Amino acid sequence: MRVLVIEDERKLAAAIARGLVEEGFAVDAAYNGVNGLWKATSEPYDAILLDIMLPGLSGYEVLKRLRAADVWTPVLMLTAKDGEYDEADALDLGADDYLSKPFSYVVLVAHLRALLRRGAPARPAVLAAGDLTLDPARRLCHRAGEEITLTAREFALLEFLLRHADEVVSKSDILTHVWDEHYDGDTNIVEVYVGYLRRKIDTPYGRRTIETLRGAGYRLLGTGADAAGAGAAGADAGD
Ligand code: CA
């Protein structure tokens, strides 16, 4: 098993490498983000240990670019509690696991072994309904092969609807999952955003994939979405 350690504190990088070598791993090290990204994209690693606060490119940015380059090597992020980023950010960004510094060596190896056992990940599924696709890891949305630009909120709303395709979701379900718990404004905000989404993913393509079920909520048509397009005979394109 070959592991890449991207860590700018050389002493720490050396200590990690020494320990992992003793455990039978092959270890390479990089001491800044640019070099780390280059190694991670050009060599086949089984896992990457990635520090967040790095010169050149932050670990954050390295991870984003790795995933954008379609490299799905499992990443164990090393986070500092007092740092600019935290665990939640690391996981949001597509890290497979994280460890807070300072960590014990035993814990590091345990996490690493667990990660390797899980094997090559964890490429998050691309969500799809007919020819509409949403790639949460790469933050991309396409309809009929065309890229659609969504705001963060529109993206989150569409992701929620796609994860519940063909189910009826109420406005309050949507509010709970797409807006944070502190939002206490008008629930009509959901309607407004569904309208924005329709104008981006449906209207220009002659589709009606987001149904309004009066008094109940919304339903995004999943597998039958293409058939429900404007050109179809439309038994279920109503509402
Ligand atoms: Ca650092």
Residue 31 Cα to ligand 1 midpoint, Å, equals: 9
What is the full DSSP assignment across 102-168? Answer: S--HHHHHHHHHHHHHH-S--PPPPEEETTEEEETTTTEEEETTEE----HHHHHHHHHHHHTTTS-
pLDDT tens-place string over residues 82-130: 555 566 666 666 788 888 888 888 899 889 888 888 765 555 578 899 9
Residue 120 Cα to ligand 1 midpoint, Å, equals: 26
Sorted by where each starts, the structural domains of the chain and their CATH numbers stand as: 2-118 (3.40.50.2300), 127-220 (1.10.10.10)
Residue 78 Cα to ligand 1 midpoint, Å, equals: 9
Residue 55 Cα to ligand 1 midpoint, Å, equals: 8
Residue segments in the chain with a per-residue pLDDT below the cut of 50: 225, 227-239
Query: CA-CA distance, 70 to 126, in Å (whole number)?
Result: 13
* CB-based neighbours (< 5 A) of ligand 1, an ion: 8, 51, 53
Q: Is pTM beyond 0.85 here?
A: no
Q: What are phi and psi of 149, to 5 degrees?
A: -90, 125
